[in-house]
Amino acid sequence: MSREKIALNYAIMIEMIRRSGTTDRQMMDLLKKGDSKDFTPYGEGIPDWQTFIDFYRSHSERLERAILKGYTITFLTKNALKTLLKIKYGLEENIDYQVFDTYLDGLVLTSNEFEDLQKMMSINWKVIDKDSTNEKHHVKIELHNGQK
């Protein structure tokens, strides 16, 4: 089954909520309730939680599938990719990986993280397993087809 395609801002909001320890079911309950104040503990200002709620109201089945079954991001810039890696996996530039012109290198991910990253990555990036040992994947993420 293919994953639901969503915009980066919704993916970041999902991961900010998950990072706090909130379960996917709890997140769905908050969205159904529809009060943006309930999302304040997950971050203020940016992101705009009302936008997340409004998207849920108009695309509830899509967002529910994205949260519960997984998502693919429609498009990622290099800076957005770095933000996503920080929020979702706690990875920091120049500590956990290095950034080059058209790729990121040196990431070490578990098998589950590697598989998840491959599935959610937008088509303009390619996730490459350079070496895997003992459930650890040494990963390079490169811009696909030379796009910048």
What backbone torsions phi and psi does residue 113 show, to the nearest 5 degrees? -65, -45
Question: Quick one: CA torsion of 48, 51, 55, 60, rounded to 10 degrees?
Answer: 60
Q: What is the pLDDT of residues 41-56, one digit of tens each?
A: 988 666 789 999 999 9
Residue pointed to by tokens 């996996």: 89
| Residues in the chain where the model's pLDDT stays below 70 | 1, 44-46, 146-148
Q: What is the pLDDT of residues 15-36, one digit of tens each?
A: 999 999 999 999 999 999 999 9
Confidence (pLDDT) at 2: 80
Half-sphere exposure for 26 (CA within 13 Å, toward CB): 9
How far is the C-alpha of 89 from the C-alpha of 123, rounded, in Å?
Answer: 20
Q: Is the peptide bond before 41 cis (omega within 30 degrees of 0)?
A: no
